[in-house]
């Protein structure tokens, strides 16, 4: 076992993705270059990469501006919430009202026809329905963390805010939000123009075939796209870099079970890449179950062979803390608690569903575990400042070596796979709610919603 996880090698991948390529918005040429980069790297390891392409319209704001008109005039740095409607070329000009939450009684008839400055994290899970019901003229989302940069999110889906119409929306920083509050601003103007083009997005993966139990598949993956104006170094070039470094070591060592190393496109705002991957499995599942030699409970479809998704999303910050989100049997949580303690690496085990590609796997019944790193750097997530300066190769190596040991002991060398194939209690509670938004994304990427029943 001479080959080891090297933080410096992972760092080089982050450089290639976040500096050389830069922001990798789904459906754009830059995301395609990221997919080609990942595919080339996997190929150089001697693996046979596959790329699934799918249609995903891309939307990018070509012009956006926030101006305060009263009591004094001035422009405030802002970023667009892509997916919200354009304004007329001269902008929309309205009276300003501040709201603390997008829910009643913070919003009500008093916001109609006004520009709402929304504190406390803005979209809070994407649900603006109560706010939109009162027909504001426009919306300015104030950053929820003490960041000097506005937070930006790629796309807001019309479907999640039905039946109300979205309004032109911009993001500003927490700092500027406080300044404007203190100045008692009265009027503002929003100008927003978005270009919508047809685009393609991708899922790239390659496998190390299992030499003992090839019919047990573990997917180790991270998303390669980022939001507009965002180099996405921690979120999530670092996750992809860690996947590539793990692929390199297991391509050399081999594995008892099949390991699939993947990079997903269009996670931000959609979850498209991982969804495309599981939908292909689902199509195959239906065909395989009809084969004459398929026996329920004995035979396995390709989907049923999937026993775990290890999802890596937001990693590599120097100062911070490691987080782990279990969407699997409690035995997996116990195992990882013991392992990380044994290795002297502290992890906070969160009792939540991580908002990333792990959810897609949960939808088709595949357990998942997500690893993330939180800290000061998280404030720069989804901003132009999520750049390579936040990355510490030493931290990549710590998480990488832990994952190496975890994968080695269980998937790559374990005699028996020690975890039940279930997605856990927390996921079960949330599943019905999450399925609704999934259907809209299945339609968006041009697939058939009846694939998932």
3-state secondary structure of 167: coil
Residue 304 or 386: the one with the smaller Cβ distance to Zn ion is 386
Minimum CB distance to Zn ion, residue 313 (Å): 4
User: Is 240:13 a contact under the CB 8 Å cutoff?
Assistant: yes
Residue 16 or 240: the one with the smaller Cβ distance to Zn ion is 240
Minimum CB distance to Zn ion, residue 46 (Å): 29
Minimum CB distance to Zn ion, residue 410 (Å): 25
Cα–Cα nearest to 255, from 247, 266, 245: 247
Cα–Cα nearest to 387, from 395, 377, 398: 377
Residue 28 or 236: the one with the smaller Cβ distance to Zn ion is 236
DSSP single-letter state for residue 155: -
For binding to Zn ion (CB under 5 A), which residues are involved? 235-236, 313
Minimum CB distance to Zn ion, residue 118 (Å): 23
Question: Burial of 342 by CB count in 10 Å (0-12 exposed, 13-18 middle, 19+ buried)?
Answer: exposed
Residue 132 or 233: the one with the smaller Cβ distance to Zn ion is 233
Cα–Cα distance, 186 to 262 (Å, whole number): 50
How many CB atoms are located within 10 Å of the residue 197 CB?
Answer: 10
Residue 235 or 392: the one with the smaller Cβ distance to Zn ion is 235
Minimum CB distance to Zn ion, residue 227 (Å): 9
Cα–Cα distance, 273 to 27 (Å, whole number): 11
**Helix (H) or strand (E) run with residue 427 in it:** helix 425-444
Minimum CB distance to Zn ion, residue 292 (Å): 43
**Helix (H) or strand (E) run with residue 115 in it:** strand 115-118
Cα–Cα distance, 125 to 315 (Å, whole number): 22
Minimum CB distance to Zn ion, residue 356 (Å): 6
Cα–Cα nearest to 205, from 296, 153, 280, 270: 280
Residue 236 or 395: the one with the smaller Cβ distance to Zn ion is 236
Rg for the chain (alpha carbons), in Å? 23
Residue 207 or 235: the one with the smaller Cβ distance to Zn ion is 235
Cis peptide before 236 (omega within 30 of 0): yes
Residue 26 or 255: the one with the smaller Cβ distance to Zn ion is 26
E strands, 71-108, in order: 74-76, 79-80, 92-99
Where do runs of H (alpha helix) occur along 227-325? 238-253, 272-290, 302-305
């Amino acid at each position: 076992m001479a080959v080891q996880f090297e933080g410096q090698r992972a760092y080089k991948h982050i450089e290639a993705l976040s500096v050389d390529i830069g922001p990798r918005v789904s459906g754009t040429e830059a995301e395609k270059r990221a997919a080609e980069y990942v595919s080339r790297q996997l190929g150089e390891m001697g693996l046979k990469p596959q790329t699934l392409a799918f249609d995903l319209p891309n939307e990018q704001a070509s012009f956006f501006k926030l101006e305060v008109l009263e009591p004094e005039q001035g422009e405030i740095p802002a970023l667009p919430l892509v997916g919200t409607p354009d304004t007329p070329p001269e902008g929309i000009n309205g009276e300003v009202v501040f709201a603390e939450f997008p829910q009643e009684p913070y919003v009500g008839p008093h916001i109609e026809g006004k520009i709402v400055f929304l504190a406390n994290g803005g979209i809070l899970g994407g649900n603006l329905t109560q706010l939109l019901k009162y027909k504001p003229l426009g919306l300015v989302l104030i950053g929820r963390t003490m960041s000097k940069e506005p937070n930006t999110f790629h796309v807001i889906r019309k479907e999640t805010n039905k039946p109300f119409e979205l309004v032109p929306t911009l993001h500003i920083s927490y700092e500027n939000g406080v300044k404007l509050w203190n100045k008692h601003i009265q009027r503002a103007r929003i100008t927003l123009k978005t270009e919508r083009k047809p685009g393609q997005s991708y899922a790239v993966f390659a496998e190390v075939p299992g030499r003992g139990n090839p019919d047990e598949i573990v997917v180790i993956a991270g998303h390669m796209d980022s939001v507009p104006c965002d180099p996405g170094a921690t979120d999530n070039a670092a996750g992809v870099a860690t996947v590539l470094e793990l692929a390199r070591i297991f391509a050399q060592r081999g594995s008892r079970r099949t390991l699939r190393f993947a990079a997903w496109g269009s996670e931000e705002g959609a979850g498209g890449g991982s969804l495309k991957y599981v939908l292909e499995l689902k199509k195959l599942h239906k065909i395989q179950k009809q084969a004459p030699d398929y026996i329920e409970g004995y035979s396995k479809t390709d989907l049923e062979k999937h026993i775990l998704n290890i999802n890596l999303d937001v990693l590599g910050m120097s100062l911070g803390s490691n987080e782990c989100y279990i969407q699997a049997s409690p035995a997996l949580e116990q195992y990882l608690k013991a392992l990380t303690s044994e290795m002297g690496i502290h992890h906070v085990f969160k009792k939540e569903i991580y908002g990333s590609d792990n959810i897609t796997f949960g939808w088709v019944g595949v357990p998942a575990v997500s690893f993330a790193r939180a800290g000061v750097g998280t404030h720069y997530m989804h901003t132009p400042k999520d750049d390579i300066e936040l990355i510490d190769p030493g931290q990549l190596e710590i998480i990488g070596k832990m994952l190496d040991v975890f994968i080695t002991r269980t998937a790559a060398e374990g005699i028996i796979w020690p975890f039940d194939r279930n997605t856990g209690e927390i996921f079960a509670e949330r599943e019905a709610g999450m399925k609704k938004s999934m259907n809209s994304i299945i339609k968006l990427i041009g697939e058939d919603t009846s694939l998932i029943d």
